[in-house]
Amino acid sequence: MTRDLVLVTGGSGFLAGHCILSLLAAGYDVRTTLRDPGREAPLREALRLAGIDAGSRLQVAVADLLRDEGWAEAASGCTYVLHVASPVAAAEPKDEDELIRPAREGTLRVLRAAQRAGARRAVLTSSFAAIGYGRAVKRPYDERDWTNVAAPELAAYPKSKTLAERAAWDFVDGEGRGLELAVVNPVGIFGPLLGPDLSPSILLVRAMLDGRLWAVPRLMFGVVDVRDVADLHLRAMTDAAAAGERFLATAGDFMTMQAIAQALKDGLGENAARVSTRVLPDWLVRLAARFSTTARQAATAELGRSKNATSAKAQAMLGWQPRPADEALAATGESLIRLGLVNLRRP
Provide the annotated active-site residues: 161
The conformational region for residue 162 under phi > 0 = left, psi -120 to 50 = alpha, else beta, is alpha
**Residues in Cβ contact with 275 at an 8 Å cutoff, skipping those fewer than 6 apart:** 208, 209, 211, 213, 261, 264, 265, 268
**Cα(325)–Cα(172) distance, rounded to whole angstroms?**
34
Closest-CA residue to 236 (of 62, 88, 83, 87): 83
**Cα(171)–Cα(109) distance, rounded to whole angstroms?**
11
- The distance from CA 240 to its chain's CA centroid, rounded to whole angstroms, is 24
AA identity, residue 329: L
**Cα(209)–Cα(212) distance, rounded to whole angstroms?**
8
| Largest Cα–Cα separation, the chain | 64
